[in-house]
Chain A
Amino acid sequence: MKVLLEAKNVSKHFGGLKAVDNVDMVIYEGDIFGIIGPNGAGKTTFFNLCSGVFPVTGGEIYFNGENITNLRPDIIAKKGMARTFQNIKLFNYMSVLENIKIGFHIHSRTRMWDAILHTSVYKRDEKLAEEKGMEIIERVGLKDYKDILAGNLPYGMQRMVEIARALALDPKLLLLDEPAAGMNPNETMALMEFIKKLNHEGYTIAVIEHDMKFVMNTCNRIMVLNFGKKICEGDPEYVRSNKEVNEAYFGKGIVVQGGTM
């Protein structure tokens, strides 16, 4: 199996707070890798380090064999890592289709002159963004909403637009930060199926999620963070039965088998 993303001893301190503390992690090609942990465990911060939003305090991150530690987010995106955000970050005053068109930015070459003179480069780029954009919109089931301003969609749909936008990059690795938050049960089910389908098509996915059922049912490997530290890593069965994980979530002395948080 090929290693796609590897974190070696990665730390992030905010002042005295160790938001991420010496975390080692490996994501293999083809994984649906789950990251769970209580609130404030450092999951989002860990994603932010991988995608270049913050510089690390210590450690190194390798993507596809290449050291990407502290590279700029746009450069990491160009290397094939796309992400969504826990607090949805859509382009609210742009339509759904326009949102997704921006996802094709790295696959297009239009310069100022191309845009002004409508050269063949411009035409090719627009055609790509329009056609592939529509393809992706149809895949996520938002065809009827393509001209609506993204900010006016209900939460669940906004999450799907954000995923669609990330897919436009055609990434090697897709990072999803709590994609089911704000979704109703039907939407959550559909999302689980969708993530599995993407995985079958060859996408490697890392997902942060609070919904245990979601994680246990979709992920093949799971890492558990608590107070910035990795406390457990393994397949769903192993994590479910891990004593430390149950303690972290529910306190000492109570053992719960699975179930939703």
Chain B
Amino acid sequence: MNEIILKLKSIYDKYKIIIILAGSILLLLVPVIFPKSYIMGIICRILLYIILAGGLNVINGYSSQFCIGYAGFFCIGAYTEAILALRLKINFWLLLPIAGIVTAIAGLLICLPTLKLKGKYLALVTLGFSEIVRLIALNWSSLTGGPMGLKGIPVPKIFGIEFKNSLSYYYIFLFLVAIFLFVTRRVINSRIGRAWMSIREDEQAARSLGVDTSMYKALNFMYGAFWAGIAGAAYAPYTRYIDSTFFTLDEGFNILSMAIIGGMGTLIGPVAGSIVVNLLTELLRPISEYRLVAYAILIIAMMWLRPQGLFGASKSILAGKEIVKKARKAEKEAAA
């Protein structure tokens, strides 16, 4: 696996511009190549879950805080968009960042009291939070429509184009995925991303180097929640109908399984995870009830064969044990 990755990487480095150009054109032409809305529906799901698994990966993979109830944030984003669009008729493009910010604030509120707690407590808190959000969505009927959900969520428009099916909506998802990957990559490769990773690796050491770990953990959690909010806000007008059953704990586990299977702590991991798990979901549709069992088996198998996931950060190709061995050997020979 590592050799394959290395090889792919060297090919990519060599023909970088051509590959990016060809890839972009190909991506733009996808709806022309697959004009069936069934296939485009799957591709849209893949894109949506790249943002969700990717946002979760920023939390779980980069700062190693453990969030399980990520569906709760997804839910807040979706309802924020739907309610504001239906009641106040606010424009979709404005609602995207609004839903992101509202969700990020929710993220801040639940992580603040847990900053001093160790990972597993935060995990439990997010689990409870996710259920509470779902129950509020289910029971606050006057605002959320209760069990009836919210119907007729207006579709996004721009320059007179309506995004009302998966063929056109694909471009919205593609646009958001591109922005997500671009922005996250830049944040990760900065002082902020390094601070997050230092917390993942050793919180005490990070603190001894002047990293305000509480602040950066909160920022990390807000960043992850922000993208769940964006994903939710993009999702609501896509289905044009939402109710609380979309945002169960199972949904949270679904997103988590993508992050784990793809590999945490890299940008490409969640992309691979979303593709693999969503394609598997389609293949396993005939046995839909046992789908989660299949994921569980897959995750267990992965733990055996490749604990870091398909493209996880730890034990990666950068490890370079061999180089050290070689250097040591040369040193010994020089000494002899």
Contacts and interface: CB of A to CB of B under 8 A. Distances in A.
A221 B219 CA distance: 44
B194 A102 contact: yes
Interface residues on A, range: 35 or more
Interface in A37-96: 51, 53, 72-74, 77-78, 82-83, 85, 89-95
A90 B201 CA distance: 8
B36 interface: no
A135 interface: no
Interface stretch (B114-122, B204-212, B251-259): B204-212
Contact of A115 (B192, B210, B211, B327): B192
A56 B219 CA distance: 30
Contacts of A94: 194, 197-198, 201
B190 interface: yes
A118 interface: yes
B281 interface: no
Given A125-B191, A145-B324, A118 B209 contact: no
Given A89-B204, A108-B191, A82 B324 contact: no
Contacts of A90: 201-202, 205
Interface stretch (A146-154, A202-210, A235-243): A146-154
B304 to A, nearest CB: 20
Contacts, number: 122
B319 interface: yes
B79 to A, nearest CB: 26
Interface residues of B, number: 38
A98 B194 contact: yes
A126 B183 CA distance: 17
B190 A74 contact: no
Contact of A89 (B187, B194, B202): B202
Pick from A85, A89, A91, A168 the residue with the most CB of B within 10 Å.
A91
A17 interface: no
Contacts of B315: 93
A105 B183 contact: no
B208 A83 contact: yes
A147 B207 contact: no
A149 B197 CA distance: 13
B210 A169 contact: yes
A83 B219 CA distance: 26
B119 to A, nearest CB: 17
Contacts of B313: 93
Contacts of A110: 190-192
A165 B187 CA distance: 22
Nearest to B321: A152
Interface in B169-226: 183, 186-187, 189-195, 197-198, 201-202, 204-213, 219
A74 B192 contact: no
B146 to A, nearest CB: 37
Interface in B263-318: 265, 313-316, 318
A106 interface: yes
Contacts of A153: 324
A116 B186 contact: yes
A91 B324 contact: no
Contacts of A91: 197-198, 201-202, 205
Contacts of B189: 115
Contacts of A126: 190
A114 B187 CA distance: 9
Contacts of B208: 51, 53, 73-74, 77, 82-83, 85, 89
Interface string B34-61: 0000000000000000000000000000
Contact of A102 (B206, B316, B320, B327): B206
A112 B196 CA distance: 13
Interface string A158-199: 000000011011000000000000000000000000000000
Interface of A: 51, 53, 72-74, 77-78, 82-83, 85, 89-95, 98, 101-106, 108, 110-112, 114-116, 118, 122, 125-126, 129, 144-145, 147-149, 152-154, 165-166, 168-169
Interface of B: 183, 186-187, 189-195, 197-198, 201-202, 204-213, 219, 265, 313-316, 318-321, 323-324, 327-328
9 contacts: A92-B202, A93-B316, A101-B194, A102-B211, A105-B191, A105-B195, A145-B323, A145-B324, A152-B320
The 6 closest A-B pairs by CB, nearest first: A115-B190, A91-B201, A77-B210, A106-B210, A89-B205, A73-B207
